[in-house]
């Protein structure tokens, strides 16, 4: 199975400051169609996950532009340009290229 490793697992942040989460995969995530199926999700306590980013860097509709995704190969990053209070929660990366699909362990972001 493809192992997704996130770091850090806990991220204290300051409002208005940038934040960054790393996600590394144990195998490359380029699918035969040329796409890289790496997504980022945000989950607040007691809520369902919400997808923020798909195919490495494409923001979902309604996701603030302070969120950005980047990376290639096996190394990916989620960045928040200026953290807001509503950004607290747990962030997960997920690979959708190989079977079985796998998630990172999660990064808990707190103010």
Partner 1 sequence: EEQLLDSGGGLVQPGGSLRLSCAASGFTFSTYSMSWVRQAPGKGLEWVSVISGDGGTKYYADSVKGRFTISRDNSKNILYLQMDSLRADDTAVYYCARGSSGPDYWGQGTLVTVSS
Q: At residue 86, what are phi and psi to the nearest 5 degrees?
A: -70, -5
Which stretch, 14-22, 64-72, 77-85, 94-102, contacts partner 1 (CB under 8 A)? 94-102
Q: Is 68 in the site for partner 1 (CB under 8 A)?
A: no
100 binds partner 1 (CB under 8 A): yes
Instruction: Choose which of 54, 67, 69, 76 interacts with partner 1 (CB under 8 A).
Output: 54
List Cβ neighbours of 61 (8 Å cut-off, separation of 6 or more): none
* CA atoms in the 13 A half-sphere facing the CB of 105: 9
Least distance in Å: CB of 9 to partner 1?
10
Interface with partner 1 (CB under 8 A): 37-39, 41, 43, 48-51, 54-55, 60, 90, 92, 94, 96-97, 99-106
């Amino acid at each position: 199975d493809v192992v997704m490793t996130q770091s850090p697992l806990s991220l204290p942040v300051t409002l208005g400051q940038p934040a960054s989460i790393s996600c590394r995969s144990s195998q490359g995530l380029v699918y035969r169609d040329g796409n890289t199926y790496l997504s980022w999700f945000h989950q607040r306590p007691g809520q369902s996950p919400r997808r923020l980013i798909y195919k490495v860097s494409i923001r979902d509709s309604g996701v603030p532009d302070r969120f950005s995704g980047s990376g290639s190969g096996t190394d990916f990053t989620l960045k928040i340009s200026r953290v807001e209070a509503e950004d607290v929660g747990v962030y997960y990366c997920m690979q959708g290229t190989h079977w079985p699909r796998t998630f990172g362990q999660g990064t808990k972001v707190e103010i």
